[in-house]
Amino acid sequence: MDELRLRPVQEKDLEYFAQFAVERDEVGISWQGFRDALAPTRRFHQDGYLGPETSRLIVESGGETAGFVSWFSGSFDDKTKYWEIGAALRPQYRGHGIGWRAQAMLTDYLFEHTPVERIQAATQPENVAEQKSLLKAGFQFEGVIRACEFRAGQYRDAYLYSRLRSDPAVAVDG
Ligand SMILES: CC(C)(COP(=O)(O)OP(=O)(O)OC[C@H]1O[C@@H](n2cnc3c(N)ncnc32)[C@H](O)[C@@H]1OP(=O)(O)O)[C@@H](O)C(=O)NCCC(=O)NCCS
């Protein structure tokens, strides 16, 4: 497969992020309605999308922008921080082995550069591609979070996954 890498957001990516804010096909199952399409430009000029609480990196495949990965911080006890990661690929890049690899690469990156013990990810019960991607990226299924989000007209469950620092890493070049 084409060379895969994660890189910081650049000014040229802002048009894509503006589309992501308003186009259902870009977002996929997680679509939550229209968002402020100018917010990405404001955020980029604030910190380049690399902040202490929320961040994004572009996923590049063969030098082309295939999508992005993101992470935000959370805590269950108000003192121990974890990251929650997410991924969104542009429609034409889905289903080619990029999503699971990008999330494995992001997890390795976060364990290397930040002291968290736990990285988690949540997805929708109908999002089989993301469920499989997380397992392939070394995450374990933890359980169902009931009625945790309002989406597509009703409260819906999510599936929670995690990878701990001590869990085995996975090889992404296989
Ligand atoms: C979810 C997403 C990141 C997965 O990345 P991807 O590159 O499409 O998935 P991969 O090609 O890495 O496939 C990973 C696994 O899922 C399977 N898969 C891929 N697309 C699938 C689909 N539409 N239905 C069922 N399984 C699918 C693959 O076959 C593979 O499993 P296998 O090795 O057992 O065959 C990507 O599809 C995407 O960006 N979707 C839209 C946004 C989204 O839903 N993000 C997650 C929100 S929680």
Residue corresponding to tokens 């949540």: 122
Q: Is residue 55 part of a domain?
A: yes
Which atom of ligand 1 is least distant from the CA of 67? Answer: 39
Measure the CA angle with vertex 173, ends 171 and 174; round to 5°.
80
Report the alpha-carbon distance of residue 93 to residue 168 in Å, rounded: 27
Q: Is residue 140 part of a domain?
A: no
The 10s digit of each residue's pLDDT in 99-147 is 999 999 999 999 999 999 999 999 999 999 999 999 999 999 999 999 9
> Rounded mean pLDDT of the chain?
97
- Over residues 64-71, the mean pLDDT reads 98
Task: Report the separation in Å between the CA atom of 170 and the middle of ligand 1, taken as the mean of its atom positions.
Answer: 17
Report the alpha-carbon distance of residue 101 to residue 24 in Å, rounded: 24
Task: Report the separation in Å between the CA atom of 53 and the middle of ligand 1, taken as the mean of its atom positions.
Answer: 26
Task: Report the separation in Å between the CA atom of 98 and the middle of ligand 1, taken as the mean of its atom positions.
Answer: 8
Query: For 94, which DSSP code?
Result: T
pLDDT bucket at 173, cuts 50 / 70 / 90: confident
Q: Is residue 25 part of a domain?
A: yes
Q: Is residue 157 part of a domain?
A: no
Domain harbouring 29, CATH code: 3.40.630.30
Q: Is residue 155 part of a domain?
A: no
Is pLDDT of 174 > 90? no
Number of domains in the chain: 1
Q: Is residue 56 part of a domain?
A: yes
Q: What is the pLDDT of residue 1?
A: 83
Q: Is residue 152 part of a domain?
A: no
Burial 30-44 (b: 16+ CB within 10 A, else e): eeeeeeebeebeebb
Domain that holds residue 84: 4-121
Which atom of ligand 1 is least distant from the CA of 90? Answer: 39
> If DSSP codes are grouped into helix, strand and coil, which group holds residue 64?
strand
Q: What is the pLDDT of residue 169?
A: 87
Q: Is residue 33 part of a domain?
A: yes
- Over residues 74-83, the mean pLDDT reads 98
Q: Is the CB of 99 under 6 A from ligand 1?
A: yes
Q: Is the CB of 94 under 6 A from ligand 1?
A: yes
